Amino acid sequence: MGLILRHHVMVSLLRGWFRHIGRNVFLVGWTIALLVTFGESGAQEVSPIVGERPGYGESTLTVPPGFVQVEMGYTFFRQDPVDQQTIGELLIRLPITRRVELRFLGNSYLVQKSNRGNPVRGLEDAGLGVKFQLSRAEGSAFNIWKPQAALFLSTSIPTGNRAFRSNDPQPSVKLGVEYPLSHTLSITGFWIADWISRDNRYTADWSGSLSLGITLTPNLAGFMEMYAIFPGRSGEGTTGFVDGGLTFWVNDNLAWDAHSGIQVIGAGSGFFIGSGLIARF
C-alpha cells in the first residue's frame, strides 16, 4: 500500500507540474540563465556558423550575440510500412547573452503515407525552447574535467494539423557534452528525455546519441553517429540508428548539409536521407 500511495502521489505531482509547464520552464530557464550569465567572462571571437542539424544530437554552442540564426531542411524517412517526408524543419535561434539563446521550433510540413491508405498532410506542432551553454572546452586536447556542455529546455505547442497535433504540450530536456580529441576530431554525447502525453497521461521516452565529428578541410566537416530511442510506454520496442553526414561552409554565415542513416535496432527496417541549410544574419 505504501508503494502504491507514493506512486499516486508522484503521479499527481507530475501532472500538476505539466499543467503549469510553461510557467515552470520559464522559471527554471531564467534561473539557469542568470547563473550562466554571471559566469560569463571576456569577449568571444565570432567563429564560423555551427548548426544544430543534421544529426540526432545537436551542437553544444550557442549563437553569438548580434546574430539571428535560421536552420531548415528536408528529410525523407521510410520505416515500413510508412513513408514520411518532413519539409521545413525550421529552427530560429535568438541569442540573449553569449551563453543563452531562445529557440522557436517551426518544425515541418509532413507528408505521411502508408501502403494501406492515402497520404496524410499537414503541419507539425510548433515549439519554444531555451538553450544554455554551461561550459566551453579549452584548447584541442582531451580533458575529462573540461568538457563543452549545453542544456536544452523546450516544449511543443499544440498548433499542428489535427492528424499530427498533440492535445497537450510535450516537454523535453536535453543535455549535450562534447570533448575535443585533437584539432580535427571531437566526440559528443547527448542524453534526452521527452515527456509524451498519451491518453491523458505523460510517459517519458528516453534517448541518447554518441557522435564523432571530423574536420576534413577548412570548409568541410563530417560526422558519424549512433543513437537509440527507448519508449516509456509498454509494448513499444527500442529502435536504434546509425547515421552520418557532411557540412559545407559557403562562408562564415552560410552552410549546407546532407545526411543519411539506417535502422540497426528494432523491429522492421528503416532509413532516411535529407539535406538542409544554416544561415546567420
pLDDT at residue 41 greater than cutoff 70: no
- Give the pLDDT of residue 4: 39
Tens-place pLDDT, residues 103-119? 999 989 999 998 777 89
Q: Which three cell numbers stand for residue 166?
A: 498533440
pLDDT at position 236 is 84
Q: Which of these, 252, 196, 246, lies nearest to 224 by C-alpha position?
A: 246
- For each of the domains in the chain, give its residue range(s) and CATH number, in order of start: 2-40+51-280 (2.40.160.40)
- Average of per-residue pLDDT across 186-196: 97
pLDDT at 21: 45
CA 39 – CA 19 distance, rounded (Å): 32
229 vs 13, more confident? 229
Residues 6+ apart with CB under 8 A from 176: 57, 58, 59, 60, 149, 150, 151, 152, 188, 189, 190
Angle 257-260-261 from CA coordinates, rounded to 5°:
145
- Residue 92, SS3 per DSSP: strand
Q: For residues 229 and 196, is the Cβ–Cβ distance under 8 A?
A: no
Q: Is the pLDDT reported for residue 17 higher than 90?
A: no
Cell of 40: 560569463
Note the pLDDT tens digit of each residue in 196-206.
987 778 999 99
Quote the pLDDT of residue 174: 98
What pLDDT, on a 0 to 100 scale, did the predictor assign at position 117?
Answer: 75
| 245 pLDDT above the threshold of 70 | yes
Cα–Cα dist 147/189, whole Å: 11
Per residue in 53-64, pLDDT tens?
A: 999 999 999 999
Cα 175 from chain centroid? 10
Mean pLDDT of 87-96: 97
44: its cell numbers: 568571444
pLDDT at position 23 over 70? no
Instruction: Kindly tell me if the per-residue pLDDT of 187 is higher than 80.
Output: yes
Average pLDDT for 175-190: 96
Cis peptide before 171 (omega within 30 of 0): no
The answer, yes or no, to whether residue 42 has pLDDT greater than 50, is: no
Question: Three-state SS for 36?
Answer: helix
Q: Phi first, then psi: give them for residue 238, nearest 5 degrees.
A: -70, 140
37 — pLDDT class (breaks 50, 70, 90): very low
Q: How many CA atoms lie within 13 A of 124 on its CB side?
A: 20
Pick the closest to residue 219 from 260, 250, 257, 185 (CA basis): 250
Of 81 and 69, the one with more pLDDT: 69
CA neighbor of 243 nearest in space, from 80, 58, 55: 55
Mean per-residue pLDDT over the chain, rounded:
86
46 by DSSP, 3-state: which? coil
Give per-residue pLDDT as tens, 206-234: 999 999 999 999 999 999 999 999 998 87
Is pLDDT of 264 > 80? yes
Q: If you search the block for the grid coordinates 540573449, which residue do you land on? A: 96
Alpha helices in 131-262 (DSSP H): none
d(CA 108, CA 132) in angstroms, rounded, equals 24
Percent of the chain topping pLDDT 70: 84
Rounded to the nearest 5°, which phi and psi values hold at 16?
-65, -40
Closest CA to 175 of 198, 155, 152: 152
